A and B are shown apart, each in its own frame.
Chain A
């Protein structure tokens, strides 16, 4: 029974555009293009036992950064402005003039650099009050990380003639060995009574 081929009527597709528009508008509204950015930090693991093992650190190796409840910044033994913190931190980390009050230097074998004198024992200790505002604390963290990033960039520029971010994995590791990031956060103190 050979049938005559019937022609199939075409589906009217003029409304596809409208359907797509509705979907498009829905996703347009729900979308949020802004990517989340932030300051990445690593917390120390919790103390294993209750006995606190105090690691003895020489005084010259520590840069104490303190914040009080009225958001004043103290670096070492004097009050400073937040703008000066980066320069202070950089001087502390590098100890360019071999100052006896700044961190001691030890020789270390690092790939690409050979045997170099670095301040691998330095520690920047940040201590804040419970009443310090988060903004101030954040700015301090930001400045300290900026100090490290600038130093690493300068080193990468002088050694590899490119930015730190553009260096290969091994080169970055060598630079991280040269300037290890050591920011320690002490347990906060509550000087003012109000939380």
Chain B
């Protein structure tokens, strides 16, 4: 059985890696497309409530965010643990919500402005008082399309 007692060392054929960069590039492009970089650093902690009748938030460019929650651990000593509003990168007062909406609207192109939507990311333990104040401010600023951010209930 000369066929099987082949004792001589056989050279392992080299794996062709020339297409490896292409593979990696494909993955890279995938992640580049799906990525959405968070443009604000969160200064408040929030856990959004859970719901069943949720809709997807389309077109990120049309959406402005308002965050409400307790200040994060590091900031709690300075700011206290009461619920606070965060607009862009800083804490804000209810009176600043209107200006914020106007500013966000001014940054949009004319044709997009009627489709503006405000997403409210609010901690589930927040009291309604502060939420109502925000809603009244939004009404005054004619930002009538809102979205209560939530998680899908399993």
Binding partners A and B: yes
B107 adjacent to chain A (CB < 8 Å): no
Are A133 and B128 in touch, CB under 8 angstroms? yes
Interface-lining segment among B3-11, B32-40, B70-78? B32-40
* Given A137-B128, A138-B150, A45 contacting B142 (CB threshold 8 A): yes
A132 contacts which chain B residues (CB < 8 A)? 127-128
**Chain B min CB distance to A116 (Å):** 25
Question: Is A28 interfacial (CB-CB < 8 Å)?
Answer: yes
Q: Give the distance to chain B from A148, nearest Cβ to Cβ, in Å.
A: 9
Q: In whole angstroms, what is the CA distance A133 to B122 when docked?
A: 11
Residues of B within 8 Å of A37, CB to CB, are 54-57, 149-152
In the complex, how many residues of chain B place their beta carbon closer than 8 angstroms to a beta carbon of chain A? 52
Chain A residues, CB < 8 A from B120: 38
Could you tell me the distance between the alpha carbons of A164 and B123 in the complex, rounded to whole angstroms? 32
Q: Interface size for chain A: under 10, 10 to 19, 20 to 34, or 35 or more residues?
A: 35 or more
- A39-B54 in contact (CB<8A): yes
Cβ contact within 8 Å between A139 and B146: no
Residue A35 interfacial (CB < 8 Å): yes
Distance of A28 Cα from B35 Cα, bound (Å):
8
Report Cα–Cα, A24/B32, bound state, in Å.
8
**For window 16-59 of chain B, which residues contact chain A by CB distance below 8 Å?**
17-18, 20-21, 24-25, 27-28, 31-32, 34-38, 49, 51-57
Choose the segment among B84-92, B108-116, B133-141 that binds chain A (4+ C-beta atoms closer than 8 Å).
Answer: B133-141
- Nearest chain B residue, comparing its CB with the CB of A46: B139
Residue numbers of B with Cβ under 8 A of A are 17-18, 20-21, 24-25, 27-28, 31-32, 34-38, 49, 51-57, 63, 117, 119-120, 122-129, 131-132, 135, 138-140, 142-152
Contacts A42-B146, A46-B140, A133-B128 aside, 16 further interface pairs with beta carbons under 8 A come to A16-B21, A24-B24, A27-B28, A27-B32, A31-B35, A35-B56, A36-B57, A36-B63, A39-B51, A40-B55, A43-B139, A45-B139, A131-B128, A134-B49, A138-B124, A139-B51
